[in-house]
C-alpha cells in the first residue's frame, strides 16, 4: 500500500501546530469489466456472464437498500443506510424535513478487516 505524508491542521484546535498524517495513495483502479475478465479467467463462466452478475448485484443492492434492508454480501461485508438529521427536543417537533440526507455504510467482513491488518506500506515522496 502506497502512502504519502500530508501536513494538516487540527480542525478542533486552530492554534495547535500542524502535524503530518499518512494518506493512502491509490495505485490505479479496477472496473466491472476488468473484474469480470479476472473472474472469468479463474472460473468456467464467460466474461459477459460475470459482468451480468456484477451488474445484477449492484442493482439488487441498491433496490434492497432503498427498501431499508441490510444487505449482507457473504463474507465481503454488509451495507446499510444511516441518516443525518437535525435534532429536536421532542418527538412531536420532529418532521421528515429534519432528515438532511442518507448515507450508505459498509461494514467489512472478517477477511477484509484481516487484509487491512496485513498490509505492507511503502512511502511515496
What does the pLDDT look like over 4-41, one tens digit per residue?
999 999 888 889 999 999 999 999 999 989 999 999 99
What DSSP string describes 3-54? EEEEEE--TT-TTSPPEEEEEEE------HHHHHHHHHHTSSS-HHHHHHHH
Percent above pLDDT 70 for the chain = 100
pLDDT above 90 for 88: yes
Mean pLDDT calculated for residue range 54-81 = 96
pTM for this predicted structure: 0.78
Q: What is the pLDDT of residue 80?
A: 98
Give the span between the Cα atoms of 38 and 49, in whole angstroms. Answer: 12
Provide the phi-psi class of 102: left if phi over 0, else alpha when psi is between -120 and 50, else beta: beta
Amino acid at each position: 500500500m502506497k502512502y504519502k505524508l500530508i501536513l494538516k491542521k487540527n480542525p478542533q484546535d486552530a492554534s495547535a501546530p500542524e502535524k503530518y498524517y499518512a494518506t493512502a495513495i491509490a495505485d490505479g483502479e479496477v472496473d466491472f469489466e476488468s473484474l469480470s475478465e479476472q473472474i472469468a479467467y479463474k472460473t468456467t463462466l464467460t466474461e459477459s456472464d460475470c459482468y451480468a452478475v456484477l451488474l445484477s448485484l449492484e442493482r439488487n443492492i441498491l433496490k434492497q437498500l432503498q427498501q431499508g434492508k441490510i444487505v449482507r454480501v457473504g463474507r465481503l461485508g454488509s451495507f446499510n443506510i444511516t441518516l443525518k438529521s437535525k435534532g429536536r427536543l421532542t418527538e412531536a417537533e420532529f418532521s421528515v424535513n429534519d432528515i438532511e440526507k442518507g448515507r450508505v455504510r459498509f461494514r467489512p467482513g472478517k477477511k477484509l478487516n484481516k487484509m487491512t491488518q496485513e498490509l505492507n506500506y511503502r512511502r511515496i515522496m
